[in-house]
Amino acid sequence: MPTDRASATGPSYLAQPHEVHRCVLLYSGGLDTSVLLKWIQDEYDAEVIALCIDLGQPEDDFEAIRQKALDLGAVRSLVVDAREEFARDYVAPSIRANARYQGGYPPFTALGRPLLARLACDVALEHDADTIGHGCTGKGNDQVRIDATVATVAPGLRVIAPIREWQMGRDEEIAYAEEHGIPVSSTRARPYSIDDNLWGRSSEGGTIEDLDAPPPEDVFQLVTPPTRAPDEPTEMTIGFREGLPVSLDGRDLGLVELIARVAEVAAANGVGIVDHIEDRVVGLKVRDIYEVPAAEVILTAHRELEKLVCTGRENHAKPELDRLWAQLVYEGLWYEPLLADLNAFMTAVNARVEGQIGVRLYKGSATVVRRSSPNAIYDRSLATFDADASFSQSSSPGFIELFSLPSRMAYRIADERRRA
Ligand code: ARG
């Protein structure tokens, strides 16, 4: 472990400038990472391998991004389609864990970053690079997730995150870009900081920072504002097996495609807008506007089915562990053994989570209206209000007598002391 480096030169995993010879840059094609691509070549006198990873972010033209990196001097430019791995190994466990950080944000950036970082390490080792470069600032969560992943899975590699150190504001960045022939036209107009993948889209910054105002309309690029959504509801039926969605309206689909289809219909119905105040790992409190149409529907349906097949005790205990799961992932602790322990629990509980959930989508809401499961712990003849039920009602008073015993004793004793 290179930890003894830490005391002498700062954190063990950070590269000193002279240590950078060939850098794998996590490249999105946007302004920040394009400026970085040039900056690393010039300031570190290093080769750059640009790596752009497809996690299902809509709208990206990956061939254009790949070419742009080469135009900016990358010695290699790679595009990796990681959608299947992302859905299977990252989104799927988050569904089993009903993951929503602080009750609102279904982690998607937080799920994507450890995968991006690990893939960058794979590429670096394969191409004899010594350093991973990324475009995170020093104020966010993403730096934590990426740095922690690299330092964990590839302790022989180093990290650089020049945006954390350079003092350029946005205008200076644009000036630098113009000076170095980096196209900025399409990025300049964007007033928000965006991140997206197949599980959702986030917007931060700009007028979103005014907490006292409703989300600006121009934020929404994915979800139709509910007021403009259709006047008729739409219903969809999601089939689950082992806690994962496997079919839509009776048709079997792979997870990537299923998520895309659910997202499209939900977004058209105004479903999946989350206006969220959250606490970042580094201590800041911020507001995010999320567009998470697929997550909204799938998590709602999953939780409903889980409730149906689990016992009451499981239903009381699991949300506590779900919350912990979301927090660990949000905090970038993807390799924390506790997360693996929790995953074993989530998988065990979800072995029984099989069935069909019907969801009605209407002007921003996703409401469960039908549910069925071969594993439902539900017996209509026991639950019914009809007279001939087999549930033994005469047993209830004896149960209540014992069930209420400690509370009754405590009440009586307090009462006696008050009177004494
Ligand atoms: N607040 C979310 C998170 O921490 C979204 C962050 C989006 N990242 C970004 N660089 N715009 O996961």
198 CA from centroid of ligand 1 (Å): 14
361-372 residue pLDDT tens: 999 999 999 999
Triad 325, 331, 332: Cα angle to 5°: 95
pTM above 0.75, yes or no: yes
Residues contacting residue 356 through CB under 8 Å, at least 6 positions apart: 237, 238, 239, 240, 370, 371, 372, 373
Query: Residues 155-175: what's their mean pLDDT?
Result: 90
Ligand 1 atom index nearest CA of 204? 11
Measured from the Cβ of residue 268, the count of other Cβ atoms closer than 10 Å reads 15
> How far apart (Å, rounded) are the C-alpha atoms in residues 258 and 269?
17
pLDDT at 7 > cutoff 60? no
Query: Residues 76-81: what's their mean pLDDT?
Result: 98
CATH 3.90.1260.10 fits 200-372, yes or no: yes
Percent of the chain with pLDDT over 90: 89
Task: State the pLDDT confidence band at 301, using cuts at 50, 70 and 90.
Answer: very high
Strand 251-252 relative to strand 244-248: parallel, antiparallel, unpaired? antiparallel
Nearest residue by C-alpha to atom 2 in ligand 1: 109
16: which DSSP letter? Answer: P
CATH domain 7-194 topology? Rossmann fold (3.40.50)
> How far apart (Å, rounded) are the C-alpha atoms in residues 149 and 323?
21
Tell which one of 146, 288, 291 to mutate to probe ligand 1, the residue whose CB is within 8 A of the most ligand atoms.
Answer: 288
48 CA from centroid of ligand 1 (Å): 25
The CATH 3.90.1260.10 portion of the chain extends over: 200-372
The CATH 3.40.50.620 portion of the chain extends over: 7-194
Task: State the pLDDT confidence band at 1, using cuts at 50, 70 and 90.
Answer: very low
